[in-house]
Amino acid sequence: MNRTRRVDLRRFPAFATVSVLLLVFLYLPLLVVVVYAFNTGRIATIWEGFSLHWFGDVVANADIRNATLTSLQVAAVATVCSVVLAIGIALGLAALRRTARGAVMLVAGAPLVLPEIVLAVATLAMFAFLDVPLGMTTVTLAHIAFCVPFALLPIRARLADMDQRVFEAAADLGASPWRVFRRVTLPLLAPGIVAGALMAFIVSLDDFLITFFVAGPGTTTLPIYIYGMLRVGITPAVNALSTLILLVSLLVLAAAYFAGRKRG
């Protein structure tokens, strides 16, 4: 096996170069943001020296704190709700007939496939049609909707990997459906649920476009706030804030990676 691999290596020599360049391409821009975040100067793009004071500015900014809290609050509610809905869909799907299953998958997959801008204006149009005032509630509802497919993916994958006979065994031993769900399905499904929750959480935190349309003037999530800052102009504070966001994403992902590896 190893020998074969080494022969493959020599087969397509340019592939390794392309790959390394692509990895650089993927990470260099992020590195640039981080480096400029430590720039002293007021003009974001001209390097004048090392400084931490933009981070201080970001942390001290009450608007940024509020936007962060709003983002976290929306993401937390959207994660819990979308995961619950996704578990329901994942468990029920297998019991459905083929056509019904296809229909449910179409509905559940729609937010993933539809262009985000279409979903954004359509959701806005519906809230306007129903005269629902825009705010926290509309943002959270919209987030739950587009988080469901992301939560569903790992939960379904986990369910498909599970040995279906354990459920039968539990039922045969006299466990009620609810007891089977609580004592067998949920614990076995847990890694999928954790992965799904993580995906939903990150996707919710990341969202700009849908939030932009359904938030209304009073509700500012972090991406909306950053977008507002960018419209005023590039400032070093944007770099510092972006760096903090990157750092948080990295920590969450690293935690997920090592948690996943430990579980095997």
Interactions with other proteins, residue window 206-235 (CB under 8 A): 206, 208-209, 213, 223, 226-227, 230, 234
Classify 50 as helix, strand or coil.
strand
| 114 is a contact residue toward other proteins (CB under 8 A) | yes
| 185 is a contact residue toward other proteins (CB under 8 A) | yes
What distance in Å separates the CA atoms of residue 57 and residue 51, rounded to the nearest whole number?
A: 12
What distance in Å separates the CA atoms of residue 184 and residue 167, rounded to the nearest whole number?
A: 7
| 137 is a contact residue toward other proteins (CB under 8 A) | no
- Which amino acid, one-letter code, is at 41? G
> Which residues, in sequence order, are bridge partners of residue 88?
none
How near is the Cβ of 156 to other proteins at its closest, in Å? 6
How near is the Cβ of 139 to other proteins at its closest, in Å? 12
Task: Tell me the CA distances in angstroms from 247 to 31, 211, 230, 244, one per residue in order.
Answer: 11, 23, 20, 5
Q: How many residues bind other proteins (CB under 8 A)?
A: 112
How many angstroms from the chain centroid is the CA of residue 131?
29
Which window, 24-32, 51-59, 60-68, 72-80, contacts other proteins (CB under 8 A)? 24-32
**Residue 218, φ and ψ in degrees, nearest 5:** -80, -20
**Chosen residue from 56, 257, 259, 263 binding other proteins by CB under 8 A:** 257
Site map 77..106 versus other proteins, x via CB under 8 A: -------xxx-xx-xxxxxx-x-xx--xx-
| 8 is a contact residue toward other proteins (CB under 8 A) | yes
Which window, 50-58, 62-70, 72-80, 156-164, contacts other proteins (CB under 8 A)? 156-164
Close Cβ partners of 94 (under 8 Å, ≥ 6 residues apart): 159
| 174 is a contact residue toward other proteins (CB under 8 A) | yes
